[in-house]
Structure 1
């Protein structure tokens, strides 16, 4: 690799590699020391093509979720089976990995700008701006940038567009799927909301068992399935469909809370 070789967004790969290495080393203890990350599905990661893969996931913090995915995906590609032991995997990170994030979030500080350089596809939110509800048109350049990233590698997106659970998925994700026809891999995470603050930058509580389940790619009829059908399929896949709430009784909710308490572990 030439030292000044760039990706399609003009980011120097040598610099991006070192940023990922440094951020990976700095953040590893958040998932392997202060808290414990339980992983399922590493073999699915290793079976994926190198490009045109879209990961769809529920969302619990601004940054801790996607940083954990960078760890898990790179560890899986390096041969780790459902664990992120031995951080040596971060020395040769997958550089064509991206994640979708709100542009206004990624411009707020030096740290967020560094995180953006490490792999963000920054988009303008159509429904929210500076803490207020808005209603504006999708920027076609944002859609094109996601397509460019898919053509170059893997993209992580959080189709709810918010860290609040059970919110409806944004239809834009389905339009992207129909347009670019990526391999769609669902990811379900838990424990991050209890471990970190909302931004995912500060450890809020130690001794929490986090989990990440990588599921088999979805079967999608890109030409004939409707946007609504794809959205419903995604909602079930990332376990955010409204029916998950409707079938939970008060007794089951209490049991669920008890289970959450049991998820805490002691080193």
Structure 2
């Protein structure tokens, strides 16, 4: 790798490499130490092509979700089976992993700006701005940037566009899928909301059993599936379809910020 080689977004890969190494070393104990991350599906990661892969996931914190995925993806590619033991996998990480994030979030402070260099594809929210509901038109440059990222590697997106559970899937995700025909890999996470604050920067509770389930790619007919059908497939895959509410007590949803005693590890 050339010292000043850049990715399609103009980021110097050598700097990105060391950023991932340093940030990875600093955050590892958040998922293997202070808390315990249970992983399923490492074999799925190892069988994916190098480019045009879209990960769709439910969302619980601004940053911790993505950081955990960077750990799990690179550990899996290094041959680890459902674990992130020994951070040696950070020495040669996959540098073409990107994640979709709100531009407003990634500009809010020095740390988010540093993390953005690690792989953010920052977009403008069309439905919310500065804490208020808005109705803006999608910027074609944002769509183009996601396509660029898919052509170069893997992209992580949180199609609900919020950390609040049970919110509807944004149709823009279905549009990206129809347009680019990526392999779509669903991920279901849990425990992050109980482990960290909303931003995912501060450890709120230790000893939590976190989980990340990487499912097999979705079966999508890119030509014939409608946008609504693709949205529904994603909702079921990331376990955010309204039908799941029928089997989850309302009290449990309303107390989603409280500690789930059945998943707590006590020291």
How big is the alpha-carbon RMSD for the aligned residues of Structure 1 and Structure 2? 1.8
Q: 1:1-267, aligned counterparts within 5 Å? A: 1-249=1-249, 260-267=260-267
In 1, Cα distance between equivalents of 2:248 and 2:235 = 17
In 2, Cα distance between equivalents of 1:219 and 1:251 = 34
For each residue in 1:202-228, what CA deviation from the matched residue of structure 2 results, as whole angstroms up to 9, or x when unmatched?
000000000000000001000110000
In 2, Cα distance between equivalents of 1:257 and 1:172 = 28
**Distance verdict in 2 for CA 1:12–1:257, change over 3 Å:** closer
**Distance verdict in 2 for CA 1:177–1:250, change over 3 Å:** closer
The DSSP-based 3-state class of the residue aligned with 2:16 is helix
In 1, Cα distance between equivalents of 2:134 and 2:126 = 7
For each residue in 1:21-67, what CA deviation from the matched residue of structure 2 results, as whole angstroms up to 9, or x when unmatched?
00000000100011000000000000000000000000000000000
Normalised by the length of structure 1, the TM-score is 0.96
In 2, Cα distance between equivalents of 1:182 and 1:17 = 25
**Distance verdict in 2 for CA 1:34–1:258, change over 3 Å:** closer
Shift of 1:258: 11
The DSSP-based 3-state class of the residue aligned with 1:56 is strand
Shift of 1:265: 1.0
For each residue in 1:118-165, what CA deviation from the matched residue of structure 2 results, as whole angstroms up to 9, or x when unmatched?
000000000000111100000000000000000000000000000000
The DSSP-based 3-state class of the residue aligned with 1:125 is coil
In 2, Cα distance between equivalents of 1:240 and 1:101 = 19
In 2, Cα distance between equivalents of 1:235 and 1:138 = 22
**Distance verdict in 2 for CA 1:249–1:262, change over 3 Å:** closer
Shift of 1:248: 3.2
Which moves more between the two structures, 243-252 or 92-101?
A: 243-252
In 2, Cα distance between equivalents of 1:163 and 1:251 = 19
Shift of 1:108: 1.1
Shift of 1:247: 3.2
Q: Is there any run of 5+ residues in structure 2 with no aligned partner, and where? A: none
In 2, Cα distance between equivalents of 1:129 and 1:253 = 26
For each residue in 1:185-206, what CA deviation from the matched residue of structure 2 results, as whole angstroms up to 9, or x when unmatched?
0000000000000000000000
In 2, Cα distance between equivalents of 1:225 and 1:250 = 33
Q: Is there any run of 5+ residues in structure 1 with no aligned partner, and where? A: none
In 1, Cα distance between equivalents of 2:131 and 2:257 = 30
The DSSP-based 3-state class of the residue aligned with 1:200 is coil
